[in-house]
Every structure is written in C-alpha cells, then in structure tokens.
Amino acid sequence: MNEQDLYQLLEDKYDQYNRKRFIETDPISVPHLFSKKEDIEIAGFFATTLAWGQRSTIIKNTNKLMRYMDMTPHDFILNHSKPELKPFQKFVHRTFNAQDALFFIHSLKNIYTHHKGLENAFSLANGSMPEKINHFRNLFLIKKLESRTAKHISNPLIGSAAKRINMYLRWMVRNDKRGVDFGLWKKIKPSELFCPLDVHSGRVARKLGLLHTKQNNWKAVEELTLKLKTFHPNDPVRYDFALFGLGVFENF
C-alpha cells in the first residue's frame, strides 16, 4: 500500500468511526452525560482511568462512581462529607479498588482547590507532552507516591505508553465538531497530543506499516505519532479512531 492509499484508508476510517453513533458503546459515553466543564473532565478522568477490560464493564463501573457522586462529580469532589464516602468503600474495578477511589477523590479536591482544575494541572509545566503528563502525575500523587495508587497514573518518562492518559487528553483537547471529543481544553494544542496505543491499535498500526517498534511503549507511541503527523500534522490523533475501529470492529 503506497502512502496515498494509506492516507486515504486512514481518512476513510476516521470519517467512519468518529461519529456520535459509536458513543453509546464507548467509555466516552459517561462524560457525555454532563454539560458542565468540570463534570465532564472529572467523569472523563475516571472513565479513562478504568478503561481496561470489557467496555460494557468499564461503562457500568464508571457510571456507578458517578451515581455515588449524585451525578454532580465536581460539586461532590469539592463538598462531600465523610458519610458520603461510604459507598466507595466497596468499589472495585479490576485492580482499581476502594482505596484508589477514595484517594482519587481527595486528590481531585486538591487539584481543583489549589491548582485551578485538571486542565491547569496538565498545562502548568513547560516542555514536551511527556513532561506535562509527568508534572500532572506528581501533582496528583503528591501525598501518596506508593505503588498502590501510583500505578494507575502512567509515566511516559519511564517508558509507559500512557494509553489511558493520552486517550483522556484526546477527549479533552480535540474538537472537530463531530460531537465525540469535547474540545474543552484550550491550553494544549491538538498537534501536541500523542496517539493512544494499546493491543488493538498497535496490531493495526504494525500491519499497515505505520509502526515498527515491537513493544507498546512510549518509544512506539512517539514513532506512531510522528508517522501520523506526516498525514495530518495539526491533528495526528484523529487517526486513533481509524486504528481503533479497524482493530475492534473489523478485526483487521
């Protein structure tokens, strides 16, 4: 497949899968329940944090967390009482358990109270996107760097592909008026984003010759994103829709 054919395939599949009709079966459906910026970004943060395993289970468990927060996550984060935390004590999603959920609530309160919210926390650091992600990670885990909760916030500076954080940033930053990604954040440009990379997208990318690094690590993320920038330098992660759709829906 030559470069022009590959570009056309990616564009066609991007157009096919970047559609609102696919939201219902995707974890992004959870933040789409909300209209307030802070509610959307908090719901999205939990949805991407839990985004491994069956998508139906991810959606079910993230919605459970939102119900625990009375479907007002921002207000709950800032104003919850100690008795209101009781339902979280039995929460579990794979390796994310009650202890993690409670820490996330307390840390998000710190982020919104002292760092002007999630967008600002990701945008404060100068430098590359890996440095911004690491800066956010340090802010988020400032009071608890032990492995129990730290493992849920990936660090690209030590080689992690950081798939869930990159997906979260795609949701918050991109806005192509398709009604899928939110485009709420203005302090980070779409051109700065890196493509989320997992088993499905990695397999498709390698079959298409977009990626040669064998492991799904940050080196592979950089290689894939750099290649995708040759097709669309201002919005390379648009092709996440194409790679995901080909892998999950078409078993390419």
Q: Helices 55-68 and 37-49 meet at what angle, rounded to 10?
A: 130
Residues paired with residue 144 on neighbouring β-strands, in sequence order: none
Classify 227 as helix, strand or coil.
helix
- pLDDT number for residue 251: 87
Domain that holds residue 93: 3-249
| DSSP 8-class letter at 185 | -
List the alpha helices (DSSP H) in 70-217.
73-79, 98-114, 118-123, 129-140, 147-150, 163-173, 199-207
Distance CA 61, CA 187 (A): 30
Residues paired with residue 97 on neighbouring β-strands, in sequence order: 92
Distance CA 85, CA 66 (A): 12
- pLDDT number for residue 139: 92
Task: Look at the pTM and tell me if it is higher than 0.75.
Answer: yes
pLDDT in tens, the chain (252 residues): 899 999 999 999 999 999 999 999 999 999 999 999 999 999 999 999 999 989 999 999 999 999 999 999 999 999 999 999 999 999 999 999 999 999 999 999 999 999 999 999 999 888 899 999 999 999 999 765 556 788 899 999 999 999 999 999 999 999 999 999 999 999 999 999 999 999 999 999 999 999 999 999 999 999 999 999 999 999 999 999 999 999 999 988
- pLDDT number for residue 147: 61
Radius of gyration of the chain, Cα coordinates, nearest whole angstrom: 18
Domain count along the chain: 1
